[in-house]
């Protein structure tokens, strides 16, 4: 019986549960019946409690807070969080280890993930990086290989130095990452005691369309604190979940962790001015040559209440961008733009962005629809239209936010239409290649279909297209639809 202050237990469909302690059986000692729907549903839900763990960054924790800008960066970017001092943007953060599994110790030598999701008025913006400013490789085609070499052996299921050093010895560009990872920076004492980096360079774009290449770095107010190998071994014997516990306790006791965000900026014309390629993810941007500019501070002040819903379901991608930020030509980044979205679709489903913690605060307006766990209602002007372009909807692109135009090694990278459009001539050539019977059949088929269209404007637009392809074709379709071609052409 439900007591005062208690809530009634129900099934997932909201029906009350009368007995959650005893299965329905055929007699007191008989077998359990398949008709015990509550039992079956309860077990089925339990069987599916675990989703596929992340291929990388499986072990992690997270928190919530805000970013407060300290500089006006509008001369360089339209990105909403960086427009004026004092502007606050809500955010979520996930810290993680890269290689090891979900239940692994937080004392392992491993890069740490440092991923931040800004909930901006222009959509969600993710800065997805690590605690170290570089990575093992500079081309995404090697990413599965470096991870395979660091993961347990497919034969023994044991992580084996013979395997990853074999790979590293054949990958000289990994040397920079190796010397950083095998230093004490490879084992931070806690997530709040490490700095962060975007690793990749990105493009900032201002309202004029001008591009600046940038790299982000987070600097901990708590200072960088690391374990030696011996200290890590000692900590593992005491508590191997120390980093998660420490972060939660600091936030719970209002010792809110903070990080300052800095950017380094390079003009496109200066990209060749260094003895390294700045868009090589195995290279750091030296601060003495490329100064760091502080743009704001992140504060974490709220722990998750439900780890699965708020942190395990939290999905990041370097492709989650907003106006004012675009991908650079970094070859490792280019692969991650696909891979991160794709792995979230595999792990959480095609509608992972509709999960509460991943929902943008900005209104979502597009025609992506259906599939698993779709919860987005069609609130458009005409709910019958889920495509574009259309005469029946007011939804349209905002051309203010077209991609920037860049010239790199004499190749123009831009979002633009082709110049040789010539929409109609080959359609006319095809019509004239048909014999009289097939021309008649084509005209009849077009008329029969277009007769079902309610909009006069659409039918007249199509007649214009057909006329531009071939005069006879356009006139015949117009006549078949009951239009006077003479009057039609006078008006159009």
Q: Of 155, 222, 150, which is closest to residue 189 (Cα–Cα)?
A: 222
As a whole number of angstroms, the distance between CA 386 and CA 229 comes to: 58
Radius of gyration of the chain (CA): 29
- 124 carries an active-site annotation: no
Residue ranges for the known binding site are 340
| Residues paired with 116 in a beta bridge | 93, 127
Question: How far is 121 from 116, CA to CA, in rounded Å?
Answer: 16
User: Is 492 in the active site?
Assistant: no
Bin 370: left if φ > 0, else alpha if -120 < ψ < 50, else beta.
left
Which residue ranges are tagged as binding site for heme? 340
Among residues 130, 131, 351, 358, the one annotated as catalytic is: 130
Instruction: Indicate which residue of 57, 100, 176, 200 is catalytic.
Output: 57
Task: Write out the catalytic residue numbers.
Answer: 57, 130
């Amino acid at each position: 019986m439900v007591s005062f202050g208690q809530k009634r237990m129900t099934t997932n469909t909201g029906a009350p549960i009368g007995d959650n302690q005893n299965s329905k059986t055929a007699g007191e000692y008989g077998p359990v019946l398949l008709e015990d729907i509550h039992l079956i549903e309860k077990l089925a839900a339990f069987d599916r409690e675990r989703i596929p763990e992340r291929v990388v960054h499986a072990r992690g924790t997270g928190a919530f807070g805000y970013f407060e800008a300290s500089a006006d960066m509008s001369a360089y970017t339209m990105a909403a969080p960086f427009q004026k001092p004092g502007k606050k943007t809500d955010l979520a953060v996930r810290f993680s280890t890269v290689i090891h599994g979900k239940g692994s110790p937080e004392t392992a030598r491993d890069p740490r993930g440092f991923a931040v999701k800004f909930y901006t008025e222009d959509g969600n913006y993710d800065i997805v990086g690590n605690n170290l400013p570089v990575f093992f490789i500079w081309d995404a085609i090697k990413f599965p290989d470096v991870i395979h070499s660091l993961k347990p052996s497919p034969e023994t299921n044991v992580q084996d130095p013979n395997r990853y050093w074999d790979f590293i010895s054949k990958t000289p560009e990994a040397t920079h990452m190796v010397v950083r990872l095998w230093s004490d920076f490879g084992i931070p004492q806690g997530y709040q005691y490490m700095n962060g980096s975007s690793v990749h360079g990105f493009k900032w774009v201002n309202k004029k369309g001008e591009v600046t290449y940038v790299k982000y770095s987070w600097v901990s107010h708590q200072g960088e604190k690391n374990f030696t190998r011996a200290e890590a071994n000692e900590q593992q014997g005491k508590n191997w979940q120390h980093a998660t516990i420490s972060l939660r306790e600091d936030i719970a006791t209002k010792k809110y962790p903070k990080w300052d965000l800095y950017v380094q900026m390079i003009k496109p014309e200066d990209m060749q001015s260094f003895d390294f390629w700045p868009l090589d993810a195995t290279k750091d941007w030296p601060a003495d040559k490329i100064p760091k500019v502080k743009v704001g501070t992140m504060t974490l002040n709220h722990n998750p209440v439900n780890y699965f819903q708020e942190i395990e379901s939290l999905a990041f991608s370097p492709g989650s961008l907003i106006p004012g930020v675009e991908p650079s030509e970094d070859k490792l980044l280019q692969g991650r733009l696909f891979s991160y979205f794709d792995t979230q679709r595999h792990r959480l489903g095609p509608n992972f962005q509709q999960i509460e913690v991943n929902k943008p605060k900005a209104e979502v307006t597009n025609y992506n629809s259906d599939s698993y766990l779709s919860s987005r209602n069609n609130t458009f002007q005409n709910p019958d239209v889920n495509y574009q372009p259309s005469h029946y909807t007011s939804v349209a692109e905002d051309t203010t936010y077209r991609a920037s135009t860049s010239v790199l090694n004499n190749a123009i990278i831009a979002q633009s239409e082709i110049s040789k459009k010539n929409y109609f001539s080959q359609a006319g050539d095809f019509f004239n290649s048909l014999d009289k019977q097939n021309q008649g059949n084509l005209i009849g088929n077009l008329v029969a279909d277009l007769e079902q269209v309610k909009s006069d404007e659409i039918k007249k637009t199509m007649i214009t297209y057909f006329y531009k392809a071939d005069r006879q074709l356009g006139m015949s379709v117009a006549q078949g639809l009951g239009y006077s071609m003479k009057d039609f052409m006078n008006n159009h």
